[in-house]
Structure formats: structure tokens, C-alpha cells
Amino acid sequence: MKRTSLKDIAERVGVSTALVSYVLNNKKEGRISKSVAARIRETAEALNYRTNQIAKGLKTSKTMTIGLVLADISNPFSSAVARVIEDAANELQYTVLFGSADENPDRFRRLVDIFRDRQVDGLILLPPNGVGEDIRRLYAQRVPFVQFDRYYPASPGNVVALDNFAAARDATSLLLSKGRQRIGLIAFESQLYHLHQRKLGYQQAHLQLGLTPDPSLIAELGVHQLERTVPAAIDNLISKGVDGLFFVSNTLSAIALRHLNQLPIRVPDDLSVVSFDENELLDLFYAPLTYVSQPLEAMGQKALELLLACMENPQQISRIHFPATLVKRRSA
């Protein structure tokens, strides 16, 4: 069954499509006769008219669609992001196209292209490693976009992210304040700026107490085979006598908890633990984990806000950093 178009309504009522369009969009407010307007609205209702957004988009070059490129949808953090972005977008009558780059630069580029081919009005990006040049190009081409959670500081463009440095510093400080002396850091060898900031925060926490962080207590893992490398790193750090551990992501802590669960070592008595980001898992661990929490809803709304501003005026860009909250529970 073909959908009804403006033309169908126009024919039925005996007017031009222009008039129908004006009525249905509440344009030319004062000038249209009440009676015709009413008849148009009635038949639109009767024929169950809904505007064809594709046609409208072609004419107006506004598709009311935004593209969301997630880093890796299998990470629960991604679905949390998806949810807040979708909510914020719907609020503003936008629909979200989405895809997951799976931390792969080629997939990232492909998704961005696909979304642009579909004329999205803007993009929200969680870019993987190695796409700094692409971000720069997007900016040069005046494509409205916002980097979310992670970003390339050397490339221009809007950013909504956590203050990762402060968050990591505070998390580490908490461990230090509990009298922990040798704090292991489980991090990624990734070049991503936000992850780097977390390492720096960890170091800063030591420095500001006049301590020198021991580099041998920092494990930097590749993204692959974490199931194997995380437990190994933990064992190694424990053999070096750590009394605290800080995980820079929920992926790491999820695997870590499974391992710690089987170890004779006791949390928090023998070992204090702090993690980044939420995860149901953290609750179930025998010592509910202390973690760094991100104000995601606020961040999502802000991202949409910046995106809309940037659609209006591509020059105007900002970088917003939100403060994290340290949720203190039993593990530290």
C-alpha cells in the first residue's frame, strides 16, 4: 500500500500541494482560510498522512538525523552512551543512526562515510586509535561533529569528555590516603589521549605527595587477549608487592575481578582496588568496588547541545570536561 503524499491530499481537497504543505507546516499563519485549512487537516488525518522525511530532507537539506559512531558496542559503556545520546536526540526530535567501529580505524572511517552519504545533520564520535587525521579533515570540511568521551587534542573540534586527569589523580589519591604505598596501575598501551591522561593522573597523585611512582608497577596492555594478559599482569604486580590496584577501564576490572576472586589475596585487607566506569560486575564482587563514575546523561545532553550549536555555526567549537565522581565502597 503506497503511503499518502501531499499530492493525494491536494487532489482530494482540490487545492495545490503548496497549500497543503503550508497548512501542515503551519506556515503563512494568517493567510490561509480557516475552512480550507480545516479540510486539509481533516483529510491528512483521514488518509493517515505522514511526511516523507527523505523527500523533505532532500529539499531542506536537514534530515533530522545524527550519526553515532561507538567505539565498541560490546562494551557496556557503549550501550550506556548509546542510550544517553538516543534520549537526548529524541528529546530534540532527532533520530540516531548508529554503528560500532570496534576500535578499528577503517571501520570508523567507513561508518563516518556511510553516515555522511545519508546526509546526517551531525556526528557524535567515539574515535578509536589512529584517526586523528580524519578528525582534522572533518573539521576542515565543516562537518558538524562532537567527539565524545575520547578525543584528539591536536585536532580541532568539539569535545565532551571527562576530566580524566583529575579523575585518575583523585582515584589514586584515595588509595594513597588509605596508606597504600605501592599502587599498581593496569592500563592500556593505547595512544588515546584520554587513556594517557589517566596514566598522568595516577602519576600526579604520587608527585603531589612528594612520591615518585615506580614505573615497574605500571602495566600497559594491548587491547587483545586481555583474558590472558590481565591476570598475568595482576600476578606479576602482586609478586612485586603491590597493596593497591587502579584499573583504568571497566573492561580491565571485569576480567581482573574474575581473577582476584580466585586468588587467596583479600580485598581490601591485602589489596585495595579502584576501577574506572560502572559495571554491574563491580557490585557483585565480594568487596563492592570503589569506582570512578561519569555523569553520562549530562554529558550526552551537552554533546547534543554542542552539536546543534555547531550546525548553526561551524566555527564555534568548545571542549567541555566534566568532573567525575568517586563512588566509595568497600574495595578501597
Partner DNA sequence: ATTACTTGTTTAAACGATTAAACAAATTGA
Partner DNA sequence: TCAATTTGTTTAATCGTTTAAACAAGTAAT
What span, in angstroms and rounded, lies between the C-alpha atoms of 257 and 170? 22
Which of 283, 297, 323, 328: binder of a copy of itself (CB under 8 A)? 283
- Between the alpha carbon of residue 42 and those of residues 29, 45, 247, 304, 310, the distances in Å are 17, 5, 61, 35, 38
Residue type, 267: V
Nearer to DNA, 58 or 265 (CB): 58
Spatial neighbors of 180 by CB under 8 A, at least 6 apart, are: 243, 244, 272
d(CA 272, CA 326): 14
CA dist 318 to 56, 58, 67, 157, 161, Å? 31, 30, 19, 7, 11
- Binder of residue 114, out of a copy of itself, DNA, none (CB less than 5 to 8 A by kind): a copy of itself
What CA dihedral angle connects 306, 310, 311 and 315, to 10 degrees?
Answer: 180
317 binds DNA (CB under 7 A): no
Q: d(Cα 330, Cα 273) in Å, to the nearest integer?
A: 9
Distance CA 85, CA 104 (A): 21
In terms of CB distance, is 59 or 224 closer to DNA? 59
Q: Does 38 sit near a copy of itself (CB under 8 A)?
A: no
Q: Which does 14 bind (CB under 5 to 8 A by kind): DNA, a copy of itself, none?
A: DNA
Stretch in the footprint of DNA (CB under 7 A) among 27-35, 150-158, 171-179, 202-210 = 27-35
Residue whose cell numbers read 475552512: 35
Considering only residues 44-73, where is the footprint of a copy of itself by CB under 8 A? 50-55, 57-58, 63, 65, 73
Does residue number 261 form part of the binding site for a copy of itself (CB under 8 A)?
A: yes
Could you say whether residue 272 binds a copy of itself (CB under 8 A)?
A: no
Look-up of cell digits 570508523: 108
Q: Is 293 in the site for a copy of itself (CB under 8 A)?
A: no
* Residue 210 is a binding residue for DNA (CB under 7 A): no
Binding letters toward DNA, positions 53-82, x by CB under 7 A: --xx-xxxx---------------------
Q: Does 119 participate in binding a copy of itself (rule CB under 8 A)?
A: yes
Closest to 187 (Cα-Cα) out of 209, 206, 164: 164
Q: Locate cell 614505573: which residue?
A: 215
172 binds a copy of itself (CB under 8 A): no
Q: How far is the CB of 2 from DNA (least distance, A)?
A: 6
Note the residues at the interface with DNA (CB under 7 A): 2-3, 5-7, 14-19, 21-22, 24-25, 27-28, 30-33, 36-37, 49, 51-52, 55-56, 58-61
Contact set with a copy of itself (CB under 8 A) = 1, 50-55, 57-58, 63, 65, 73-74, 76, 78-80, 82-83, 86, 90, 95-100, 113-119, 141-142, 254, 257-258, 261, 279-281, 283-286
